[in-house]
Structure 1
Amino acid sequence: MKRTGAFLFASLILATTANAADKVSFGTNWLAEAEHGGYYQALVDGTYEKYGLDVTIVPGGPQANNGLLLAAGKLEFYMGGNLLLAFDAVDQDLGIVVVAAHFQKDPQMVMSHPGVGLHKWEDLPQATAFIGKEGLASFYRWMETSYGFKEENVKPYTFNPAPFIADTHSIQQGYVTSEPFAVEREGHFKPNIFLFADHGYGTYATTIETRADVIEKRKDVVQRFVDASTIGWYHYLYGDNTKANERIKRDNPEMTDEQIAFSIAKMKEYGLVDSGDTLKHGVGAMTDERVKSFYDEMVKAGVVKAGLDYKKAYTLEFVNKGVGLDLRPK
């Protein structure tokens, strides 16, 4: 009878906990991919549930605008791309705040052909540059002011690697986790990769954004979502991520095992998630110094206006607590 009573009591507690789970929706900024892996990991391995959260991941894509849904109150959290978007939200007085940065390094890069004299960063400013419209208005301005790249060398990048593959003395923008994979498959060569973060482009990426009113009214939910997502990233990078990858492929049927494996390898190789300040403070870490430095660089490049109250774009309240450090392989 005692065992039965204890079992019923435990079952009641579990049921009550499940019923009390806080429902939140998290919108990503693109179709499901390995670069979202930590969040899918936390969803499928029960980490969100353990933290009392009932999380729905809302995939982004070319026809979605999850950032707008966050601002409109339709989502509680959104996966931001980089700090430029957060600065712009301050400029528009949207009340959007970055509460964690799960990529310490922006995966944005340019790549060049091997063996043609474009193997060093200093060689690149004179090359034809395939750059998209958004890139031209953001990171390429930094490349111009800091390293002497020229807009006259730019040709439109249309997310098709064929022009770059055909022009051996060109460079092309992309994410280190994605575009080089396409070039290797279609061009049959490994391109030289130049990660902007390794040359001073200091933005955080894959951020968690929420609204100021959510922080004010549901602070505990924000903390639990940040912590659980962080643990998800440790498990995804260093544990068994099989179920997370299956869920990613379910949400994005065009995703392949080969692309996922390539992306994970690049995330590890370049320390996109776990490097720098995360080694002490845990994945998701941010510092005032990093944000200020990037803001100053973008003002210098003419991308962001001077005098912006950029500190409204983020808060350190929910990070730098060492969450998940014990999960990193020794």
Structure 2
Amino acid sequence: MSLTRRTLLSAAAASSVAAFTPFKRAQAATPVRLLLSWFAQAEVGGFYQALAKGFYAQEGLDVHIDMGGPQVNTMQILAAGRADFVTGYDFQTLRGIQGGMPLLTVMSSFQHDLQGLMTHDNITDLAQLRNHPILISSPAHASYWGWLCKKFGYIPAQAKPYTFNLQPFFLDPEMAVQAYASSEPYEAQQRNVPVKFFPFADLGYPPYGTPVLTTHEFADKNDATTQAFVRASLLGWQDYMRDPEPGNALIRKANPRMTEGQIMFGHSAMAKANVVEGGDTKTLRRVVS
């Protein structure tokens, strides 16, 4: 399966044009259920910001946000009609479509993915990891693992299961682990473990980050709702990057285990990477102002 930035850009551009067609808002609030692929954290702060600031309500939507996690199969839940929108991953989406799932990407939160590998600080190039153990999650096998193997010559035997416990990584100086720029490096920092983080986007990994999916059936039957949800979500992301506290308050409520330090580390990492207003937004028109 061939995936290029141009392919993704064309799909996103088509979605953006459709998403901002004027329409008459419904008078009664329309219930909408968003299922996240992970727990509430800064990396999904734009959706919580849109909820906190009333952007969804202004579009006539009554949005409920559910958290996901490592044991939650968001694609199956979406296909079963138990969620209207889910956050996902581009390669995962394409594989789902290839397998016959009626998936449709309606927006992307980030201009590039925040995914990467975290290594100990003696590593200067990911090519050095050949034959080293690399902790990856089950979904990674259907997304970036194949890309890494092709690019750096890794072999399947290197992949070890990542249970989102970093202790094995901290104990093994030869080990690397999948990481999100705004997450695992924070835990390493808290443990005073010197690490390096290699963002896949800097190495040519093409997908956008945190896309939002629905099904063709839902979008066809609920065109105005889909447009309204996209508009409010994008506005939420732009607003969150300027002043995250309203969204952060809802994140802390939804996920009390999320510390203030980790939330702010995540927000800072996203701002540094300029994932919301960088990339293609520099050359394409702004769709939200």
- Normalising by structure 1, report the TM-score: 0.74
Q: Distance in 1 between matches of 2:70 and 2:153?
A: 32
Contact 1:26 1:76 in 2 (8 A): yes
> 2:152 aligns to what?
147
The CA deviation at 1:48 is 0.9
Match of 1:77, as an amino acid? F
> 1:67 aligns to what?
75
Change (3 A) 1:200 1:65: same
Q: Distance in 2 between matches of 1:69 and 1:129?
A: 30
Q: Distance in 2 between matches of 1:158 and 1:22?
A: 37
Cα deviations by residue, 1:55-105 (Å, 9 ceiling, x for unpaired): 11122234544432321122221112x112211221232211001111222
> 2:3 aligns to what?
none
Say if 2:75 is the partner of 1:111. no
How many pairs were matched up? 265
Say if 2:47 is the partner of 1:42. no
> 1:180 aligns to what?
185
> 2:211 aligns to what?
207
Change (3 A) 1:206 1:94: same
Cα deviations by residue, 1:189-245 (Å, 9 ceiling, x for unpaired): 34111011111111122111111122212212111111110000000011x221211
Q: Distance in 2 between matches of 1:141 and 1:225?
A: 33
The sequence identity of aligned pairs, in percent, is 35
The CA deviation at 1:19 is 5.3
Match of 2:196, as an amino acid? N
- Normalising by structure 2, report the TM-score: 0.84
Match of 1:251, as an amino acid? A
RMSD: 2.1
Q: Distance in 1 between matches of 2:135 and 2:72?
A: 25
Q: 1:1-330 counterparts in 2 under 5 A?
A: 20-80=28-88, 82-114=89-121, 116=122, 118-186=123-191, 188-238=192-242, 240-281=243-284, 322-324=286-288, 326=289
Question: Which one scores higher on RCO, CA 8 angstroms, separation ≥ 6?
Answer: 2
Contact 1:70 1:210 in 2 (8 A): yes
Bigger Rg, structure 1 or 2: 1
Q: Distance in 1 between matches of 2:66 and 2:149?
A: 36
The CA deviation at 1:123 is 3.1
Structure 1 alignment gaps of length 5 or more? 1-16, 282-320
Segments of 4+ in structure 1 off by > 6 A? none
